[in-house]
Chains A and B, each alone.
Chain A
Amino acid sequence: SQQGEEDPQALSIQEGENATMNCSYKTSINNLQWYRQNSGRGLVHLILIRSNEREKHSGRLRVTLDTSKKSSSLLITASRAADTASYFCATDAGGNNRLAFGKGNQVVVIP
């Protein structure tokens, strides 16, 4: 089964607001990654957080990881219309870069 089940799956916010999405997984991991996908396009890597890290920042992105709860969250601050996309978390499924993706969160930022 897929790891990385995000909740909620759809989010609609106003430009300037923050968007938060969560991800849970089932097995132990080496790292957890977040990717973005615009409709009908490939995925773009956003940020990677290692299992020994608890929080990481990259620009307007903030990722947290709680290995005890097997969960992660992605926060996008000061959202922009261009942030409209689907966001997926992914965990390494046994090493060798084999990532297992969750269901994804569709985020719509209204201008």
Chain B
Amino acid sequence: GAVVSQHPSRVICKSGTSVKIECRSLDFQATTMFWYRQFPKKSLMLMATSNEGSKATYEQGVEKDKFLINHASLTLSTLTVTSAHPEDSSFYICSAPKTGGTGELFFGEGSRLTVL
């Protein structure tokens, strides 16, 4: 079964609105989670590292005020796309490291965002 749950799987919104995507680790704690963005037929681009109890670390070129990340508990990280525009339409995927420091990541099923 899935060990990382992501919700919603699909969301359609109007330009200018904000959308929140949740990422939950099931049955394990994740002090760190990662948010990726994926364009059609493209690879995953790391957007940011979500840190429980502290600020997220954003990759170069990613607008922190545009993509708000909150990691309020050891099992939940949220990504909020603020004032969404059509160019924000994409597939957003979260992941959490497997406990034990193996380096392996568990991924959520992804969230398809369409901004009209």
Contact check: which of B41, B95, B103, B106 meets A92 at CB < 8 Å? B103
B interface, size bucket: 20 to 34
The answer to whether the Cβ of A43 comes within 8 Å of any Cβ in the partner chain is yes
A97 lies within 8 A of B32 (CB): yes
Question: Of all chain A residues, which has the CB nearest B4?
Answer: A42
- B53 smallest CB distance to A (angstroms): 16
Residues of B close to A78: CB separation below 8 A: none
**Does the CB pair A93–B43 fall under 8 Å?**
no
Interface flag for A2 (CB, 8 Å): yes
Is the pair A33, B46 in contact by a Cβ cutoff of 8 Å? no
* Chain B residues near A92 (CB-CB < 8 A): 103
Q: Is B112's beta carbon under 8 Å from chain A?
A: yes
Q: Which residues of B sit under 8 angstroms from A45, Cβ to Cβ?
A: 98, 104-106
Q: Find chain A residues with CB under 8 A from B32 CB.
A: 96-97
CA–CA, A101 and B105, complex, Å? 12
CB-contact partner of A42 in B34, B43, B108, under 8 A: B108
Cβ–Cβ < 8 Å partners of A42 in chain B: 4, 6, 93, 107-110
Task: Note all chain A residues with C-beta closer than 8 A to B107.
Answer: 35, 42-44
**Residue of A at shortest CB range from B104?**
A45
Per-residue interface assignment for chain B, residues 1 to 17, with 1 indicating a CB less than 8 Å from any chain A CB and 0 otherwise: 00010100000000000
**Which of B44, B46, B91, B102 has the most A CB atoms < 10 Å from its CB?**
B44
Shortest distance from the beta carbon of A51 to any chain B beta carbon, whole Å? 11
Which chain A positions have C-beta within 8 A of B41?
Answer: 106
Q: Tell me the residues in window 1-51 of chain A with beta carbons closer than 8 Å to chain B beta carbons.
A: 2, 30-31, 33, 35, 40-45, 48
Binding site for B on A (CB under 8 A): 2, 30-31, 33, 35, 40-45, 48, 88, 92-93, 96-104, 106
Binding site for A on B (CB under 8 A): 4, 6, 32, 34, 36, 41-46, 49, 91, 93, 95, 97-98, 102-110, 112
Question: What are 22 residue pairs bridging A and B, where the CB atoms are less than 8 Å apart in the complex?
Answer: A2-B43, A30-B103, A33-B103, A33-B104, A35-B107, A40-B112, A42-B107, A43-B93, A43-B105, A45-B98, A45-B106, A88-B43, A92-B103, A93-B46, A96-B49, A97-B103, A97-B105, A98-B34, A98-B49, A99-B34, A101-B36, A101-B46
